[in-house]
Amino acid sequence: MRDLSRRRLLTGSGAILGAGLVGGSLGGCDAPALSQLATPYDWSNGLTFAVQRWLLRHQPLVREFDRSRISTVFPTINTTDPDDPAYKRSKDLEFADWKLPVTGLIERPGAFSLADLRAMPARTQVTLHSCEQGWSAIGEWTGVPLAHLLAHVGLKPQARFIVIRSVDGWWDSYDLFDALHPQTILAYGMNGGGLPVKHGAPVRLRVERQLGYKSLKYIAAIEAAERVDGYGKGRGSMVAELGFPWYAGI
Ligand SMILES: Nc1nc2c(c(=O)[nH]1)N[C@H]1C(S)=C(S)[C@@H](COP(=O)(O)O)O[C@H]1N2
Ligand SMILES: [Mo]
């Protein structure tokens, strides 16, 4: 009996690893979480990534809360008002001139204004934000699903990652598994109003299955790519270059 369950466990974990590596092929072996296995820490990150991809293979939604659960205080950290002349000008115009370029491996590249995004189908979700710095808060976010925008512009078949850049120099990348998740949205509204500047106006990303640092604020550009090892130092994100995991699944 014991032997059988042990064998089952072993084949089970083999399946998990296999699924992770195949799941990785949604993101590719070039997924930063699987391609840099230099230290035991990298290995454990890679294993976390593989197991989470397997557990979440049916793309379940994260828990959504009732509006009554929205936190009265939602902390804000790092950049809270980008010190960038073009951003400041745009902010003074209430972002009327703001445009979001969508380029790279895209059939119909374009640039979208806030009004363009607001005219697209919207999703509102009340979710728990968890920051790696040890705090969490519940907020309501309204925006257009990234999947909708990407379907609108058409991803080329080679596209496997979405690279996003922010006004303050933050940048990050996401494999299609997370980029196309229904709760991955480009949010322009928070708690029933517009998105405040301190929370990333005019548009921020919400990636609900990862830690707060993956939810980029002050989005400036979106690009579809086949690989991310040509960006920056090749680790797939700014925070990864600082030593944080590229994949911050929770
Ligand atoms: N462009 C940009 N995006 C960012 C950050 C930032 O400083 N700049 N901070 C990140 C971190 S660590 C967290 S926890 C959340 C914080 O979002 P909030 O300030 O709206 O609470 O945004 C993330 N996205
Ligand atoms: Mo964070």
- Summarised one tens digit per residue, pLDDT across range 113-141 is 999 999 999 999 999 999 999 999 999 99
Instruction: Give pLDDT, residue 42.
Output: 85
Letter string b/e over residues 217-228, b meaning 16 or more CB atoms within 10 A of that residue's CB: bbbbbbbbbebb
What is d(CA 150, CA 120) in angstroms, rounded to the nearest whole number?
A: 12
215 lines ligand 1 (CB under 6 A): yes
- Look-up of token digits 């928070």: 190
What is d(CA 46, CA 40) in angstroms, rounded to the nearest whole number?
A: 10
How confident is the model over 7-14, as a mean pLDDT? 36
With the most atoms of ligand 1 within 8 angstroms of its CB, the residue from 136, 203, 215 to mutate is 215
Tens-place pLDDT, residues 210-236: 999 999 999 999 999 999 999 999 999
78 lines ligand 1 (CB under 6 A): yes
Ligand 1: which residue has its CA nearest to atom 2?
217
Tens-place pLDDT, residues 178-199: 999 999 999 999 999 999 999 9
The alpha carbon of 130 and the centre of ligand 2 are apart by a number of angstroms equal to: 7
- Say whether the peptide bond before residue 157 is cis (omega within 30 degrees of 0): no
The alpha carbon of 96 and the centre of ligand 2 are apart by a number of angstroms equal to: 29
248: which 2 tokens?
A: 């911050």
User: Three-class SS of residue 32?
Assistant: helix
Statement: residue 250 has pLDDT above 50: yes
All structural domains of the chain, each given as residue ranges with its CATH number in brackets, are: 62-241 (3.90.420.10)
- Confidence tier at 32 by pLDDT (50, 70, 90): confident
Does residue 134 contact residue 155 with C-beta atoms inside 8 Å?
no
Instruction: Give pLDDT, residue 29.
Output: 53
Instruction: Give pLDDT, residue 24.
Output: 39
Residue 68 vs residues 12, 122, 141, 243: alpha-carbon distances, Å? 41, 21, 14, 37
What is d(CA 247, CA 158) in angstroms, rounded to the nearest whole number?
A: 21
Instruction: Give pLDDT, residue 4.
Output: 37
